[in-house]
Amino acid sequence: MAVQLDALMKGPQPASIKTSLPSDTAELQDLMQCIDRLRVQHPLLAVVVDAQAAVADRGLLDTCITGLLPRATLVTLSPADASKLLGCPPLLHDTDIEDAARGLQMLTGCRGVVIHKIDMSGVCPDGAFMLTEQASGWLLPMPAAGAAATSLPVAACDDHRACFSASAAAAFARGFVAADAVVLAHMAATHFQRHRQHTDESAASTNADQRFALERANLPALRSSSSAPPISFAPLVQPQMGLYAVVDSAAWVQRVLDSGVRTVQLRIKDPAHPKLREEIKQAVAAASAVDAQFFINDHWQLAIEENAYGVHLGQEDLATVDLPRLAAAGVRLGISTHAYWEVCRAAALQPSYIACGPIHPTAAKAMPWIPQGNDNLAYWCALLREPVVAIAGMDFERAAQAVQRGADAVAVISGITAAHSPEQAIQSFDQSIAQARQFPRQAPPDMPRPTLARKP
């Protein structure tokens, strides 16, 4: 049976299965029964199907579509495979690939789809379209990643897919949700292809270097369109920001500036705030007077109009903001991230900084995310080239720990605004950060742990 049990984790973690399409009916029935039995014990069992549609019998192929693929957590395939499964004309354009992924998901009910791009000459470029519960888009080479985009011959494409599907199954077994598992699998397969000339082993028998996830050149950009022009934002004047105060009024901006803070964010979430523009105008003037790096949360149009230094955006804002206009105005951009796919989406924009969180539990905002902890923070600081802001649940000790893990800034809200003496709190944060910078940076793990719980 073409089934590989990649891992069975201890405790509540699920098993994962990686399989190709069976070649006969008996094998297909055995496989489906195996999946069903395992899911009784492990409701979170992940099934990765590498759907190379080489099955000649159309009836067997149809049974795979109606029986096996509905059981799949993730289906990986080429455009030709997708065309055969859907019974549609060849997928000539990237929009055809996107439509095919959605069509395959609707037809089979599979949870996720990845279509690896292969052009008409049979060459496999660097790129894949993913459709998952958490996110969809194109995984492409990262801008300025230090490695040029490459094209692979068909044989190498097969190895790439074999490494990809096995790595996705292993990522599921470690507890990652689909979007993160796809990113990790893409990184592993990219690493294998970049280093394949140095090994005689095939992808089927080679585990990617355990430190593949620490190489920035392996990290893909996640874009909504494969043809979107590159974009980048101005770098920070002072990338080592230290204490990053997040406050909700111009009066608080002035107060923290008077206490020596030089990176500040104005966070007024209500777009109907009656004095929103006036608050922003006053805060911009106060920050400009002392050359502080001042960011506005969300209100990017007002930031441009009032000549603010920067804007901070959440992931949900990226689809609605005119990012080219923001970049052309010279406004710096910071982006919140919580997981692999969000980091890929943020880094694709070459922002001024990337915020990672929640590092610790926080009451500032209701979120589904598992607190990342210091190990994950150390990982992101090691992987990313952009300045990293550690956010959520920070006190004096945690601020020092964050800096020791490589954070360039520590974002603080209630630790300042709810303090008995905000001025004294700012002084204590500054001291903790300065002292932590005197110690060696702590080594990161090979990869982070999951930040979102998988669902059955």
Burial class from Cβ neighbours inside 10 Å (0-12, 13-18, 19+) for residue 364 reads middle
Q: Check residue 202 and give its pLDDT.
A: 47
Report the 10 Å Cβ neighbour count for 210.
9
Rounded Cα distance, 396 and 6, in Å: 42
Rounded Cα distance, 231 and 217, in Å: 18
Structural contact between residues 39 and 67, judged by C-beta atoms closer than 8 angstroms: no
Q: 388 to each of 32, 75, 315, 329, 338, how far by Cα in Å? A: 45, 34, 16, 23, 12
The one-letter amino acid at 199: T
The one-letter amino acid at 135: A
Q: Check residue 98 and give its pLDDT.
A: 97
The rounded average pLDDT for each run of 10 residues, N- to C-terminus, in the chain (456 residues) is 34 68 89 91 92 76 93 94 92 94 96 84 71 96 60 62 89 95 93 67 48 92 90 97 98 98 95 92 98 97 97 95 97 98 97 97 81 98 97 97 98 96 98 96 94 91
- The number of angstroms, rounded, from the C-alpha of 329 to the middle of its chain's C-alpha atoms is 27
Report the 10 Å Cβ neighbour count for 125.
17
This prediction has a pTM of 0.91
DSSP state string for 239-297: S--EEEEEESSHHHHHHHHHTT--EEEE----TT-TTHHHHHHHHHHHHHHTT-EEEEE
Q: Check residue 119 and give its pLDDT.
A: 56
Choose among 76, 26, 25: nearest CA to 51.
76
Structural contact between residues 312 and 295, judged by C-beta atoms closer than 8 angstroms: yes
- Reading the block at residue 440, the tokens are 């060696």
Q: H helices then E strands: how many in the chain?
A: 15, 18
Mean pLDDT of the chain: 88
Q: Check residue 227 and give its pLDDT.
A: 87
Rounded Cα distance, 446 and 404, in Å: 17
Tell me the longest C-alpha to C-alpha distance in the chain. 76
Rounded Cα distance, 402 and 408, in Å: 9
